[in-house]
Amino acid sequence: MGSVPKTTHKDFDVEDVLEKLNIDEKVALLSGTDFWHTASVPRLGVPAVRVSDGPNGKGGHLQGKEAIAKGASVILGPTTNMQRSPLGGRGFESFSEDPVLAGHMTAATINGIQSTGVGATPKHYVCNDQEDQRMSVNSLVTERALREIYLMPFQIAQKDSNPMCFMTAYNQVNGTHVSESPRLINDVLRKEWGFDGMVMSDWFGTYSFTESVKAGLDLEMPGPSYVRGKLINQALGCGKLTEYDIDNCVRKVLELVKKVLPLGIPENAPEHTIDSPETAALLRKISSNGLVLMKNDNATLPFKKDKTTAVIGPNADLAAFSGGGSASLLPYYAITPLQGVKTQAKNVKYTLGAPGWKKLPLLSRMSKTNDDKQGLTMNVYLDPPSKKDRELIDTVHVSDSNCLLVDYKHPKITSSLWYATFTGHITPPQTANYEFSLSVAGTATLSIDSHLLIDNATHQTPGDSFFGTGTRDETATTSLEAHKTYTVSIAFATLPTQTFTVPGTTAFGAGGVRIGCARVISPQDELARAVDLASSVDQVVLCAGLNSDWESEGYDRTTMDLPPGSDELISAVCAANPNTAVIVQSGTPVTMPWFQAAKAVVQAWYGGNETGNAIADVVFGDVNPSGKLPLTFPVRNEDNPAFLNYRSERGRVVYGEDVYVGYRFYEKTRRDVVAPFGHGLSYTTFALEALELRVDEGTDEIAISVDVRNTGDRDGAQVVQVYVSQESPSIGRPVKELKGFTKVQVKKGAAVKAEVRMSKKYATSFWDEERDAWVSEKGKYTVLVGDSSASTPLKGGFEVKKTMWWRGL
């Protein structure tokens, strides 16, 4: 544990510094210097600022404290894009299919982060809702859908939290890349919404020097500059840019540096940790409170701790704590569901049941270093293995064999070309065939006891590893003896040695390597063992779902289904033992053909460090579940409104569903779903009573209150959801739209008054494309209050007496 030592940076006057900067210094400030730092101007007392990819899923305040411990002044998050389709690779990072929920979640996260003095960066502004051709795809979207669905969460975030930064999306919107869109950056974000902070590009998402500067993109990331730099000087020389254009961007960079000066974080601060019992307890509470009890027939859950319990499934002995990509950070620790159950139940047995991996489990789960640490040892060299007696320049312990080397630095490394070996020892628990896998951004070979097993250097095939920059997984199988120790060695060379390039992908630093290993199994035998075990115990915790290989930045899912074998496993185990709780981990919906057969289903998401403990807390009733689905679970992917218009088609994607995203579509078309938006059960029951509605004409505020009565025998929490419907709109509108919500804690047998306040103009308006403005139409509006989009038993109403058009916030 520890904290970053404070330093005192002298405050500076932005305009004074701007006046004293020479043109080279100004140009330098328009780009990062490396992957995570802005440029400094030592002679004028302007320090560099470190930014960091944001940990996802934590409370906002804790994120800020984590950033400070890591020496970072700005967090690159939260992700505010819409969950337009279940297949979106980064859907697990996003908050919701509903723009109001996403906006309020974003604002709350930003306020938490910035309460610590750390800057937040809502991203990716805007319509970065798929990974397929994410840098080039042209998102074709109507102005109404753009405003009501995709810009709305960013608008709410700006209105309610005033973030220090925004990050632009990779993609085009209606023919123009966002990073060079004057309309989206200057006209909408700055002039219409009043944003006065800094706008940065996504990493390698700056595609021009003149257009991006004129559009208001202040900072190109990462560095060193690959678009700006000397080209800016050329643009100044030929008159494409003026120094005034440059100053507008430099000013915003300087203002950001000034805002975070009070943090006192020194340049290139060492990274520390704040892993503590208090942090763990908070993470456990947040994770368990977010679990959604989707189904609980006959009060199957909670389970009894003293009964015999089987833990089965591909996600049981795997800590699926996050999806993949830049949102996934190396955790201090990660608790598996199996570990969580074992800490609470007395008699626990485990079997795999079915392999749920897309890529083999990481070798680091079973490998040890010479000094008995989990993982591998990385030895670093400037020269290739062919050079005799090459100099060893560094030795690093690598705890994770999915190793992205973007952050690795060494004073002797002065180019992007260098070499490394990764070495570890494995001792198989049983004699069997073991399969190894190797993917790389660069080149690599894998050997066991000096015998070459996999060559991913001589002949390479492009794949989806390392954000699409690297190779596919190359695999090989070998027989290993039980309790015998083997040395696994990987010879690695950095990205410049790779034998191919993939146009349009992001080359992350030195590249990386991923090494996997697992015992070769028979799916039929594993399924049979699972059924036998399930039949022999009182209760079953069946853990299935996705992981960071299935849901990740860089690619979208190709199907909404669970991994092969999972559906068969769930069906067979539920038939063998009806007292089965199915725990599903995923960031977005999966198909559930077994939903009717299962008595209890919990949507557990990814859950972070404490995911296993949080699952066990809900399964055994230490925590009464209160989470609600932030997105609809359709029956099939074909039912999703974006089904016909998802992924790039010759460089473009049509947002053909218009404003009918998620529940707006399912309710308009009366389409059956597995579980509706906002749904979530509890171990107790609630009744909503006594709706009161008050409209304050002077303040544009609508106040709704209801009594929430706990009619069960356990304390619990309920989320009251408020939807609004226009009775006679002049255009087609959704059946109802979420406009407010609140969560209340209620003791058993008691009642609590819940109150929701919301803006009348936000609650009633749609985007009028003819007037290019929001319109709140004269007429009657219905207020629907309930506990999901499909369950709104209380009804009230109010009237708008005069049609009003408006813009801005």
Neighbours of 512 (CB within 10 A): 25
User: For tokens 């209606």, what's the residue?
Assistant: 174
Q: Which residues pair with 471 in a beta bridge?
A: 462
Q: In what order do the strands lie in the sheet with 347-351?
A: 292-296, 600-603, 580-585, 539-545, 308-312, 347-351
CB proximity list for 164: less than 8 A, separation 6 or greater? 74, 114, 119, 120, 121, 197, 198, 256, 259, 260
**Cβ–Cβ under 8 Å, residues 101 and 95:** yes
**Cβ–Cβ under 8 Å, residues 185 and 218:** no
For 325, the token pair is 């990509």
Q: What backbone torsions phi and psi does residue 438 show, to the nearest 5 degrees?
A: -150, 115
Neighbours of 580 (CB within 10 A): 25
For strand 486-493 and strand 443-448, is the pairing parallel, antiparallel, or unpaired? antiparallel
**Cβ–Cβ under 8 Å, residues 609 and 333:** yes
**Three-state SS letters, 290-351:** HCEEEEEHHHCCCCCCCCEEEEECCCCCCCCCCCECCCCCCCCCCCCHHHHHHCCCCEEEEE
389 has catalytic annotation: no
Residue 360 in 3-state DSSP? Answer: coil
Residue 215 in 3-state DSSP? Answer: helix
Amino acid identity for residue 526 in this structure: E
C-alpha distance from residue 230 to each of 34, 200, 238, 280, 383 (Å): 17, 19, 13, 48, 32
- Helices 152-161, 99-114: axis angle to 10 degrees equals 30
SS3 percent helix, strand, coil of the chain, rounded to 5, is 25, 30, 45
Distance of CA 563 to the CA centre of its chain: 20
Could you say which of 129, 202, 473, 549 is catalytic?
202
**Three-state SS letters, 2-33:** CCCCCCCCCCCCHHHHHHHCCHHHHHHHCEEC
The closest of 348, 423, 65, 51 to 219, measured between CA atoms, is 51
For residues 85 and 323, what is the distance between their CA atoms, to the nearest angstrom?
Answer: 16
CB proximity list for 639: less than 8 A, separation 6 or greater? 666, 671, 673
Q: Which sequence positions are flagged as catalytic?
A: 202
